[in-house]
Amino acid sequence: MELEEITIEEACRDAFWKKHEEYLIRDIFPNESIGSPITQEDKEYFLSEKYRNALIAICDRTIDRAHMIFFNKGEVQIGFCSYCVYASEDGKCFILDFCIYPEYRSAGYGKACFRQLRKEVHDAKYFELNLSNEGNRRFWMSLGFEYNGYDEDGSILYTLMQEGTEAVLCEELKKEDYWQILKLHNGYMAEGEMALLTDDKQNELINKIERGELCFFVGKCATRAVGMYCAETKMLFVEPLFRDRGIEKQLMDFAAAFLKGAEEKKR
């Protein structure tokens, strides 16, 4: 299939929402979910006006706004997608929804549509999404996405790196990276089969950092923090995609040298 066969157009919101509801009811709700099960409360929320307004608000903001798009093959609409590029943060393109209509599945259109999306957002540093079911997992893995831990909300992440081989540099945690610490912290908790941070616990963690009770160090690639180490708790975590590269040792060595230097300055 030629890439030029697929085109993208900004979606009419009412039309998008109708297709989105059909997709949830047909493809998402009936299937066994990956991670936390979809509750009745979840279903009601994702079909509600509240959720629709929340998504529209993201589309209307001036910074890092989301997009609702339709995929077309010639004059025929074959699917839709919603996504957001976080240019003000780490250049991530987060895919909120991606759907190929049933009559066009298993014919290569899904991969062709993603290739066209990738061309559309060519400035994105990497792609990330939450998976809903096993069928989704197989599709995204066929496109090169790999498991990469959990996000700050406790949802499983799959990631496709655009720039995954650059050097990782260590530094003391900065305020603009607090949200990434929450994400990495939940990845650590999930892999240890411990309870993920609630909103209150997240706020408590940030407060401890700001009061100087916890000192975190992060390993950063060109796009974002991919590893963390806490000097007080010895908590050490590196994203699955960045393991086996010696980053764990790099973080601990940097923390030891930094703290030693800070102690010497006090004398």
pLDDT digits (tens, 9 = 90+) for 114-125: 999 999 998 898
Reduced to 3 states (helix: H, G, I; strand: E, B; else coil), residue 122 is coil
| CB neighbourhood size of 95 (10 A) | 20
Is residue 29 within 8 Å of residue 38, measured between CB atoms?
Answer: yes
Cα pseudo-dihedral 239, 244, 245, 249, rounded to 10: 80
Mean pLDDT over 161-172 rounds to: 77
| pLDDT higher than 60, residue 164 | no
Q: What integer pLDDT is reported at residue 1 of this predicted model?
A: 44
pLDDT digits (tens, 9 = 90+) for 38-68: 889 999 999 999 999 999 999 999 999 999 9
Boundaries of CATH 3.40.630.30 in the chain?
Answer: 3-161, 169-262
Q: What is the DSSP string of 155-222?
A: -EEEEEESS-SS--EEEE--GGGHHHHHHHHHHHHHHTT-PPPPHHHHHHHHHHHHTTS--EEEEE-S
pTM: 0.83
Quickly name the fold that domain 169-262 has: Aminopeptidase (3.40.630)
Q: What integer pLDDT is reported at residue 88 of this predicted model?
A: 85
| pLDDT higher than 80, residue 103 | yes
Mean pLDDT of the chain: 90
> Angle of helix 13-23 relative to helix 49-60, nearest 10 degrees?
130
In the structure encoding, which two tokens stand for residue 239, read together?
Answer: 């994203």
| pLDDT higher than 70, residue 230 | yes
Is 3-161 a domain of CATH 3.40.630.30?
Answer: yes
Q: What integer pLDDT is reported at residue 264 of this predicted model?
A: 82
| pLDDT higher than 60, residue 222 | yes
- β 92-100/126-130 pair status: parallel
How far, in Å, CA of 140 to CA of 107, rounded? Answer: 15
| pLDDT higher than 90, residue 163 | no
- β 126-130/156-161 pair status: antiparallel
Q: Which residue type is seen at 132? A: S
